[in-house]
Amino acid sequence: MKKTLTAIAAAAIAFAGLTGTASAEDEKFVLISHAPDSDSWWNTIKNAIKVAGDQMEVTVDYRNPPTGDLADMARIVEQAAATNPDGIIVTIADFNVLKGPIMDAVDRGIPVITINSGTVEQSAELGALMHVGQPEYDAGFGAGKRAAAAGAKSFVCVNHYITNPASVERCRGFADALGVELGSQMIDSGMDPSEVKNKVAAYLNSNPDVDAILTLGPNSAHPTLAAVRDAGLAGQIMFGTFDLSSEIAEAIKKDEINFAIDQQPYLQGYLPVVILTNYARYGVLPSGNINSGPGFITKDNIALVEKYAGEFR
């Protein structure tokens, strides 16, 4: 898969280089995410669309609801579509909330690629060209299989963005791999670091039999790690997380976090820009959807990726 993605991107860039500025038409695209301003994980995707925009000589605007409010996101999609951009890249943070605005954009004739959240089935129902992302249930299930292999039987899933159905699928996949029904093991932690830490500490105190933790990104991983350290459990409890940061990388090297699930967000931002540009200029389009993850980062391979954390990984 990586070789295929590399070939697609390389061919697009090479072709643009051969044709020079004569082929550039200053296409304008909009990437709309569900992330609040406080979510630093999206910095990698912001970097990706900047790199792709520079290489393809197009304009790519990043827009998001400042507080993560999905109704606000739906309005942003409507506003973006009203400007008739050459393409929209959008997350399916909540299918029911975003279905109308996204389908309206498609009905206007605007090419749409969905990324990150949602499923390929939802993307197709919306009329999008393709979906670039990670199958969230499968990623959670893969994480759960690793936890089960380590002997884990009970767990807590720290969900910092419970309003996003994809986040629940991560926790559900983890539970199914362990052979337990998802219930109160999933906590709605919110995004405030102090609140996350306090809720995790309280859960661990009330459930001393917990032998595995799953966090869904740096927003929950960082304060959860602090709670685990305070409880004297660092390196003693199975700890997996989604996504990567410099702090998570350091914890992996110290054996405090066992693995991070890498959905390669750079590809989620970069590839849609390249694909939409070539679609707008030449009518060419790859067939099918693109799985950008999951990949697992452990102590064995952390050195290969940590220096790019927050920028390309």
- Could you read off the pLDDT of 150-209 as tens digits, one per residue? 999 999 999 998 988 889 999 999 999 999 999 999 999 999 999 999 999 999 999 999
Global pTM? 0.79
Asked whether 115 and 133 are in contact (CB, 8 A), the reply is yes
Evaluate if residue 262 carries a pLDDT over 50: yes
What are the two backbone dihedrals, phi and then psi, of residue 275, each rounded to the nearest 5 degrees? Answer: -65, -45
User: How many Å apart are CA 177 and CA 197, to the nearest integer?
Assistant: 26
Spatial CA neighbour of 239 closest among 251, 42, 112, 262 = 251
The tokens for 309 are 């954390």
pLDDT score recorded for residue 15: 45
Q: Which of 39, 53, 7, 46 is nearest to 268 (CA)?
A: 46
Lowest mean pLDDT among 17-26, 108-117, 175-184: 17-26
Residue 30: alpha-carbon gap to chain centroid: 17
Q: What is the pLDDT of residue 16?
A: 45
The pLDDT of residue 132 is above 80: yes
* Section 217-224 average pLDDT: 96
- Using the predicted structure, report yes or no on whether residue 302 has a pLDDT greater than 60: yes
Contact, 112 vs 125, CB < 8 A?
Answer: no
Running DSSP on this structure, what letter comes out for residue 38?
Answer: T
Count of positions (residues) in the chain: 313
Sheet bearing 212-215, strands edge to edge: 186-188, 156-159, 212-215, 238-242, 259-262, 295-297
Whether 45 shows a pLDDT value over 80: the answer reads: yes
Q: Which of 19-23, 35-39, 148-152 has the lowest mean pLDDT?
A: 19-23
**Alpha-carbon distance 77 to 81, whole Å?**
6
Helices (H), the chain: 2-19, 43-56, 70-82, 95-107, 120-126, 136-149, 165-178, 193-206, 218-230, 246-253, 265-282, 302-305
Looking at the DSSP assignment, which residues form a beta bridge with residue 89?
Answer: 31, 113
